[in-house]
Chains A and B, each alone.
Chain A
Amino acid sequence: MKCGNGGTSTPALKVRAGRQIEILGEDDVAIESSTRLLAEKLTAERETFLSQWVRTIGEDLQGRLSMAELGRELGELYEAILQALGTGGLDGRGERYGEVRSLLIELSRNRARQGFTPTETARSVFALKEVLEPSLTGDQEGARAYLQFARLLDDLGLLTTEAYVRTREEIISSQAEQLLELSTPVVKLWDGVVGVPLVGTLDSARTQVVMEKLLQTLVDSDSTQAIIDITGVPTVDTQVAQHLLKTVVAARMMGAQCTISGIRPQIAQTIVALGIEFGDIPTNASLADALRQAVAEVAKESENDARGLL
């Protein structure tokens, strides 16, 4: 029975498989001839096409990019596309278009950094369609080749948008980091005393930066007193409190004494109602009071040191 079953099903499979191959074959032939036609056209009319392409884009970008620079970029891209076509490929995501893709990614990254829009960037690719259209759409074979090419360029155009967005994201996250650095200045307030005026919301990322900078500055300036001023922190909730406590503990482990200043009355009341206890951490309503105490502490320390020497 098994044998019989196998015997009846096998030929049917074969026929189906055979048909598929046939269809694929037709497609392949069509793509091959389109690719050949495109390669021929692009080679024969290289100068005309390229200069027209550069001109179209140049008008779009209105002098925000030098024509020499643009000519070089598009020239390289043109050659790479031609080469990929020459090896018989129309699949923009395929192996043959590796060089084209890396050129496009480079181009998109530059455009994103120079402040061009994603549309302007994708247009750099799409414009090549317009350049080729008149000389291809005369006959049926040409029209078919044009369609294939348009599809390829659509795909490559999308690729530029992907690369553009990725670059913008990189730029934004590095700016956010810079901002974080800028917004947490650790300053030396007095001999032996450093201070951090915190402004805005204190999240985990920011706490990390504050903590690292504070500890580094304590070491660099050979200080023993640190003041964290929270006058500019609008909301002190359990998360902020936990972050503050962590920072204080870290400073203590380096042998420094840490004070939290700038606790406004409404914040003090809220902290108490929440149930947060700052334990033995000294707190002060104003930065001035905290500084006065810290300076006194430093003086006491050096007195003790001097006594120790005698």
Chain B
Amino acid sequence: MKDYGASATPAETVQVATSGDVVTARQMVRTLAQRGGLGLVHQTKLVTAASELGRNMLVYGGGGVVRAAALSDAGRSGIYVEFRDEGPGIPDVELALTDGWTSGNGMGLGLSGARRLVDEFDIASGPEGTTVRIVKWAR
């Protein structure tokens, strides 16, 4: 995935430390998506992906920061969202991205489902933490 992080400005951020913060982050993404001209289905998919990734960050990464911004690239416009935590990381990303795989008692669909809900998806994970970046284009 292209590095949209730098060009996506001005970005809005939400610190996530509680489940209430996940709701706040979700609302921020929804507002941006509405302003960015995404259709209702696209909005809902993006917000749901943000909900999954935000909660993973809280539950497994011990909280972190959600950064979101409107994006325009090669004549297209969309929304960029980044989830960054400093948790233990995911030992096996491929496995974590398998439908139904959970280390806890979830459905194991959050990560893989979020990838299907957006147009671009990138995950980097290591012992210093996990960063997931997603883009949903308005079409």
Binding site for B on A (CB under 8 A): 201, 203, 234-239, 241-242, 265-267, 269-270, 273-276
Check if B106 sits within 8 Å of A274, measured CB to CB. Answer: no
The B33-47 residues at the A interface (CB cut-off 8 A) are 40-41, 43-45, 47
List 16 interface pairs A-B (beta carbons < 8 Å), by A numbering: A201-B23, A234-B30, A235-B44, A235-B47, A235-B51, A237-B52, A238-B113, A266-B43, A266-B45, A274-B48, A274-B52, A274-B109, A274-B113, A274-B114, A274-B116, A275-B116
Query: Could you tell me if A203 and B19 are in contact, using CB atoms closer than 8 angstroms?
Result: yes
Taking the closest CB of chain B, its distance from the CB of A191, in whole angstroms, is: 36
A238 touches which of B19, B45, B107 (Cβ 8 Å): B107
| Contact yes or no, A242 B113, CB < 8 A | no
Report the Cα distance A267→B30, complex, angstroms: 14
Q: Is A274's CB under 8 angstroms from B47's CB?
A: no
User: Is there contact, CB below 8 Å, between A237 and B106?
Assistant: no
Quick check: A273 and B117 within 8 Å, CB to CB? yes
Name the CB-closest residue of A to B106.
Answer: A238
Q: Are B44 and A266 in contact (CB under 8 A)?
A: yes
Instruction: Kindly supply a per-residue 1/0 record for chain B positions 99-114, scoring 1 wherever the CB is within 8 Å of any chain A CB and 0 otherwise.
Output: 1000000110110111
In the complex, the answer to whether B109 meets A235 with C-beta atoms within 8 Å is no
Are A235 and B41 closer than 8 Å at their CB atoms?
no
Number of A-B contacts (CB under 8 A): 61
Contacts of B99 in A (CB 8 A): 275
Q: How far is the CB of B135 from chain A (nearest CB, A)?
A: 16
> A238 touching B110 by the CB < 8 A rule?
yes
* Chain A residues positioned under 8 Å from B30 (CB to CB): 234
Given contacts A238-B107, A242-B107, contact A274 B44 (CB under 8 A): no
Which 6 A-B residue pairs are closest in the complex by CB-CB distance? A274-B113, A266-B44, A237-B51, A266-B41, A238-B107, A275-B109
Q: With A266-B41, A274-B113 in contact, is A235–B106 under 8 Å at CB?
A: no
- B contact set with A: CB distance below 8 Å: 19, 23, 26, 30, 40-41, 43-45, 47-48, 51-52, 55, 99, 106-107, 109-110, 112-114, 116-117
Query: A201-B23, A273-B116, A274-B116 are contacts. A238–B44 as well, Cβ < 8 Å?
Result: no
Q: What would 6 more interface pairs be, CB under 8 Å, given A234-B47, A237-B51, A273-B45?
A: A203-B19, A236-B48, A239-B55, A267-B44, A270-B117, A275-B112
Closest Cβ of chain B: how far from A6's Cβ, in Å?
53
A52 and B89 CA atoms in complex are apart in Å by 64
The distance in angstroms between the C-alpha atoms of A275 and B117, with both chains bound, is 10
Which of B48, B113, B116 counts the most chain A CB atoms within 10 A?
Answer: B48
Q: Which residues of B contact A238 (CB under 8 A)?
A: 52, 106-107, 109-110, 113
**Minimal Cβ-Cβ distance residue in A for B42:** A266
Which residues on the B side are within 8 Å of A269 (C-beta)?
41, 44-45
Shortest A201–chain B CB gap in Å is 6
CB neighbours (8 Å) of A274 from chain B are 48, 52, 109, 113-114, 116-117
Look across to chain B and name the residue whose beta carbon is closest to the beta carbon of A267.
B44
Smallest CB–CB gap between B113 and chain A, Å?
Answer: 4
